[in-house]
Amino acid sequence: MENREKLTAIIEGCLRNERRSQEQLFKHFYGKMLSVCMRYVADRDTAQEVLQEGFIKVFEKLGAFDYKGSFEGWIRRIITNTAIDSIRRGKKDPFRTDNENDFKLGVEDPMIKQEELDLSNVKAEMAMQAIQQLSPAYRTVFSLYVLEEYTHKEIAESLGISEGTSKSNLAKAKINLQKILSEKFMNIH
């Protein structure tokens, strides 16, 4: 309970615009939230910019936090949405694929039936490097679905795409990750 009470005190300090409390909150969540950003953007500098922008939003919206559920989860959602917004600003329509009609709702996708990509035996660093090599569209959908556990419906709503596009991007992301990781493992031997 001590940690929860300490966190509550920091949050209350932030609500009073106390710089020391804001700094403590930022430092406490910096590492975890930077890795969230790194799931969506390819380079550390951009991830840090996204993180800064995300924390500005956290401080602006802090009064809306109702102390129900996980505070870390609440911050993660804001940071994730900030990363998605950053990707959107960078490209006209980054979540569309060339074959938009490949995955219509209700049509079973043979690629989705493929064995789930097993990252458990891969070093985390190598996996993150591989994920960062994906296109922004594939990386975003993969991260939201696999790492953040969003549904395709939630991804579609969040990104302004169809569920079919979300499924297509996930399937293609998995195929590309398999290729990237296979090449990495071949170069290790």
Q: Rounded to the nearest 10 degrees, what angle do helices 44-61 and 71-90 cross at?
A: 120
Q: Could you give the residue range(s) of every CATH 1.10.1740.10 domain in the chain?
A: 2-90
The amino acid at 99: N
Q: Rounded to the nearest 10 degrees, what angle do helices 71-90 and 152-159 cross at?
A: 50
Class of domain 2-90: mainly alpha
pTM to 2 decimals? 0.61
Q: Could you give the residue range(s) of every CATH 1.10.10.10 domain in the chain?
A: 100-188
The DSSP-derived string for 96-143 is --TTGGGS-TTSPPTTTTSPPP--TTS-HHHHHHHHHTS-HHHHHHHI
Q: pLDDT (tens digit, 9 = 90+) per residue, 127-185?
A: 777 888 888 889 889 888 888 888 999 888 888 889 999 999 999 988 888 888 777 76
The CATH number given to 100-188 is: 1.10.10.10
